[in-house]
A and B are shown apart, each in its own frame.
Chain A
């Protein structure tokens, strides 16, 4: 063991034992971020903050929540919302946070697609991000069941039922997931476990991995420019801060993030206190009743697009039932984003609007996702069903065509 001299300061004492000075450099003051970025690059920090909000408010809720089909509803709506001091505040932050986190995830994700931040060395960032998306979806879905309201129950019923469409093992799988033949107390207790233990643990791990995966390829920038980070960092450290193309994570990058965070929090707290029903569906204030199907069943807004991809297929084609077609399309929609780095065959890393073909693809995809989201909520009757079908088809075609579109783009750009 190395010789220890007596420390002169507290900092030194910790530095001797934990190497905090070096650690702070590596993680903060000499972790380099491109200077040429806009507020969209603050979304990652917003997500970290929102996740912290969810974690802390969730821990408070856990102190009074009762995971029992007979008690869950009242423990939330009476004990937490009305008896416990500021229990309502924690619930509102948790419920609104869970919804808004998806808004920010989508912005974060589409920013990555727009700027091409998923390729040329950034594939692992993308994959770990999509892993977070899947984990957050599972967390959102399991959490929505806990208040045991009508929509908790019926959304859980409909979504677990989807697994019944898987060939051969489908029926047993549904029973295995529910722990019963229908959605019951056993379903509630296992989703409770997933929601408060297993998935949050996995999310924490995935966040660490996501951050780590950013380390070597570095964050992208507004122009998709590649440059030598070490060279730019040297310039910065030598005092040429204005010429250098990079800034340190702390304090420069974070000072901008805090500013974005401040205004974002204004929006967030406005929703928490005054406009929360988009995140806490009124129907869910009716207690779960397995004998009374609500007139309209729909999942939370962030699942609507994929739900509509599933629902869009409502008639038989070539001997395959609509239900099976929908299931296949749904499976496709849920894995296709992960494969993006390999579907995009153009080596260009540029904002979409500077790419001759990709820009059409990008905005068409955004429009299609918005149509799917909208019609995923409306009752699937009459013309709505057909809009759903076409939007769902367009979604599939867009992704199947992407490799060809980007290949052609690569050729065109090369030819110039």
Chain B
């Protein structure tokens, strides 16, 4: 009985200290932020209830977008090599084959209407800065025309994306123009010097960010970087919840590839240790019965 009391005292002291230096200290250093918003409610320039016309959308995309963007899926290769595209625009414009699937519909429509406000980069492209975003605003298009473009992009995008290869494709489409992933052999499409000049900061290699930032942080950060890194030049990319989950899953597949092995082995080791503990207890009882 006395030993249980001692154990209880130690557990209380250790528990209080642990609570203070882990959960509590973390909550002080990393305060909670507003929950992720995957419908991008702040963007209201385009009425997304309008039904888009795929045929008309195709015409508009071919007239307006493929001068800069590749759309491999629809047979439009990149107009120039990555290095040249990066030199012209500061960053390589992403291939739009998946755009209709990975971006939230409301975000995509509003991004086409006005990229800077959709990306939450007004602080960087303010009138005083003299900087201009490399992609033009299509605010001259009617809401109907914008929804036609969106409908077309949705029609060519693959419907499902499961497994590691699909996750990789999502990552490359959404983040690959800026970020490398060394442990997966992925190099950012934009050369590192160019992107640094363009962004004003070097986008980090994301190989270990699932570990250093964790899923919880990434969940908020990718949805809106400004919430956690105020004033950062990393744009809000506007992924749908599903696409964002795929990106995070990929970061985990690369950054913590042994997770499944760890968790299944862990159960066996604990089971084995438990058996050892029981046997040790029975042995101890036998031995001590002779001396007590």
Instruction: List A residues at the B interface (Cβ < 8 Å).
Output: 35, 38-40, 74, 77-78, 81-82, 88-89, 92, 103, 107, 241-242, 244, 247, 251-252, 255-256, 258-259, 261-263, 265-266, 269-270, 272-274, 278, 282-287, 295-296, 301, 304, 366, 370, 373-374, 377-379
Among A38, A40, A259, A286, the residue within 8 A (CB) of B284 is A259
Contact (Cβ within 8 A) A373 B17? yes
Docked CA distance A285–B252 (Å): 13
How far does the Cβ of B91 sit from chain A's closest Cβ, in whole Å? 22
Question: Would you list 21 pairs from A and B whose C-beta atoms are within 8 A, ordered by A residue?
Answer: A39-B6, A39-B7, A77-B207, A241-B291, A244-B291, A252-B288, A252-B291, A258-B280, A258-B283, A259-B280, A265-B273, A266-B270, A266-B277, A269-B273, A270-B270, A282-B211, A283-B212, A285-B211, A296-B29, A373-B17, A374-B24
The interface stretch among B97-105, B242-250, B260-268 is: B260-268
Among A88, A259, A284, the residue within 8 A (CB) of B281 is A259
The interface stretch among B8-16, B120-128, B172-180 is: B8-16
Docked CA distance A325–B260 (Å): 50
Docked CA distance A276–B209 (Å): 17
Among B17, B29, B265, the residue within 8 A (CB) of A370 is B17
A82: chain B residues within 8 A (beta carbon)? 183, 257-258
The answer to the question of B41 belonging to the interface, with a C-beta cut-off of 8 Å to chain A, is no
Contact (Cβ within 8 A) B3 A39? yes
Contact (Cβ within 8 A) A38 B2? yes
Between A40, A284, A285, A287, the greatest number of chain B beta carbons within 10 A of the residue's beta carbon is seen for A285
Contact (Cβ within 8 A) A247 B291? yes
**11 extra A-B contacts, CB within 8 A, seeds A89-B262, A378-B25:** A38-B3, A258-B284, A262-B276, A262-B280, A262-B281, A263-B277, A269-B273, A273-B263, A273-B266, A286-B204, A374-B17
Contact (Cβ within 8 A) A265 B29? no
Contact (Cβ within 8 A) A252 B21? no
How far does the Cβ of A238 sit from chain B's closest Cβ, in whole Å? 14
- Take A77-B208, A282-B211 as given contacts and tell me if A252 and B273 are in contact as well, using a CB distance cutoff of 8 Å: no
- Take A38-B3, A256-B284, A269-B269 as given contacts and tell me if A374 and B20 are in contact as well, using a CB distance cutoff of 8 Å: yes
Among B183, B265, B288, the residue within 8 A (CB) of A273 is B265
- Take A262-B273, A265-B273 as given contacts and tell me if A256 and B288 are in contact as well, using a CB distance cutoff of 8 Å: yes
How far does the Cβ of A161 sit from chain B's closest Cβ, in whole Å? 22
Docked CA distance A196–B204 (Å): 32
The answer to the question of B287 belonging to the interface, with a C-beta cut-off of 8 Å to chain A, is yes
How far does the Cβ of B286 sit from chain A's closest Cβ, in whole Å? 8
How far does the Cβ of A216 sit from chain B's closest Cβ, in whole Å? 24
- Take A103-B14, A255-B283 as given contacts and tell me if A285 and B291 are in contact as well, using a CB distance cutoff of 8 Å: no
Question: Smallest CB-CB separation from B275: which chain A residue?
Answer: A262
Between A88, A107, A270, the greatest number of chain B beta carbons within 10 A of the residue's beta carbon is seen for A88
Docked CA distance A409–B173 (Å): 75
Contact (Cβ within 8 A) A286 B21? no
B20: chain A residues within 8 A (beta carbon)? 370, 373-374, 377
Question: Smallest CB-CB separation from A261: which chain B residue?
Answer: B280
The answer to the question of B214 belonging to the interface, with a C-beta cut-off of 8 Å to chain A, is yes
Contact (Cβ within 8 A) B13 A366? yes
How far does the Cβ of B107 sit from chain A's closest Cβ, in whole Å? 29
A270: chain B residues within 8 A (beta carbon)? 266, 270
Docked CA distance A242–B287 (Å): 12
The answer to the question of B162 belonging to the interface, with a C-beta cut-off of 8 Å to chain A, is no
Contact (Cβ within 8 A) A378 B28? yes
Among B29, B263, B273, B274, the residue within 8 A (CB) of A274 is B263
Docked CA distance A342–B265 (Å): 50
The answer to the question of B164 belonging to the interface, with a C-beta cut-off of 8 Å to chain A, is no
- Take A39-B3, A286-B212 as given contacts and tell me if A377 and B284 are in contact as well, using a CB distance cutoff of 8 Å: no
How far does the Cβ of A232 sit from chain B's closest Cβ, in whole Å? 12
B211: chain A residues within 8 A (beta carbon)? 77, 282, 285
How far does the Cβ of B27 sit from chain A's closest Cβ, in whole Å? 11
Contact (Cβ within 8 A) B213 A78? no
The answer to the question of B230 belonging to the interface, with a C-beta cut-off of 8 Å to chain A, is no
- Take A274-B266, A374-B17 as given contacts and tell me if A38 and B273 are in contact as well, using a CB distance cutoff of 8 Å: no
Docked CA distance A366–B13 (Å): 9
Docked CA distance A88–B21 (Å): 25
Contact (Cβ within 8 A) B277 A262? yes
How far does the Cβ of A257 sit from chain B's closest Cβ, in whole Å? 9
B159: chain A residues within 8 A (beta carbon)? none
Contact (Cβ within 8 A) B208 A377? no
- Take A82-B257, A266-B273, A296-B29 as given contacts and tell me if A255 and B284 are in contact as well, using a CB distance cutoff of 8 Å: yes
B269: chain A residues within 8 A (beta carbon)? 269, 273
How far does the Cβ of A287 sit from chain B's closest Cβ, in whole Å? 8
B183: chain A residues within 8 A (beta carbon)? 78, 82
B283: chain A residues within 8 A (beta carbon)? 255, 258-259
Contact (Cβ within 8 A) B21 A379? no
A283: chain B residues within 8 A (beta carbon)? 212
B131: chain A residues within 8 A (beta carbon)? none
A370: chain B residues within 8 A (beta carbon)? 13, 16-17, 20
How far does the Cβ of B22 sit from chain A's closest Cβ, in whole Å? 5
B13: chain A residues within 8 A (beta carbon)? 366, 370
Docked CA distance A92–B261 (Å): 13
Q: Restricting to B179-225, which residues have a CB under 8 Å from any CB of A? A: 182-183, 204, 207-209, 211-214
A295: chain B residues within 8 A (beta carbon)? 29
The answer to the question of B18 belonging to the interface, with a C-beta cut-off of 8 Å to chain A, is yes
